[in-house]
Amino acid sequence: MSLATSGGLSIGALAQQQAAQAKTASPFDKRAHASAQDFEAVFLSSMFQQMFTGIKGDGPFGGSQGVGVWRSFLTDQYAKSIAKAGGIGIAKDVYHTLLQHQAARSQAQAAAHVRPPRPA
């Protein structure tokens, strides 16, 4: 699977599908989706920083001391853009895991509040 498609959908179509789902989602679902997307962006940024670590030279940043700072900004933006456009699938799995944990917590809280009837 390439970065351009995910299960037959283009990145643009996938982003539109996610936006439509976000409009009908509960506040927790929206926060969970945003958190999952942020997690994927941080992961991708870390990967990109490792990819660019050994690159030296004139490139768009020149060879100055500021290369590291500007390169970190660039890799962060690459990561955020890719994650927002559908990413590589990490956010989807993290989102579903967050929803499962929320459901389990809600069930546990509901079970804790159920009291047996008092004897007469």
pLDDT digits (tens, 9 = 90+) for 63-88: 666 777 788 888 899 999 999 998 99
52 found inside a domain:
yes
Cβ atoms 87, 44 nearer than 8 A? yes
What angle (nearest 5°) sits at the alpha carbon of residue 44, between those of residues 43 and 47? Answer: 90
Of the chain, the percentage scoring pLDDT greater than 90 comes to 28
Residues 49 and 16: their CA atoms lie apart, in Å, by 29
Report if residue 102 sits inside a domain: yes
* Cβ 85 vs Cβ 11: under 8 Å: yes
pTM of the predicted model as reported, rounded to 2 decimal places: 0.64
80 assigned to some structural domain: yes
Q: Are 49 and 75 in contact (CB under 8 A)?
A: yes
Query: Which among 56, 112, 32, 45 is positioned nearest to 81, based on CA atoms?
Result: 45
List phi, psi (to 5°) of 61: -105, -5
| Residue 110 DSSP symbol | H
Reported as a pLDDT band with limits 50, 70 and 90, residue 55 is confident
Instruction: Indicate whether 42 belongs to any domain.
Output: yes
- Domain range enclosing 109: 27-113
- Is residue 118 one of the residues assigned to a domain? no
Domain count, the chain: 1
User: Which residue from 110, 88, 89, 107 is spatially nearest to 99, judged by alpha carbons?
Assistant: 107
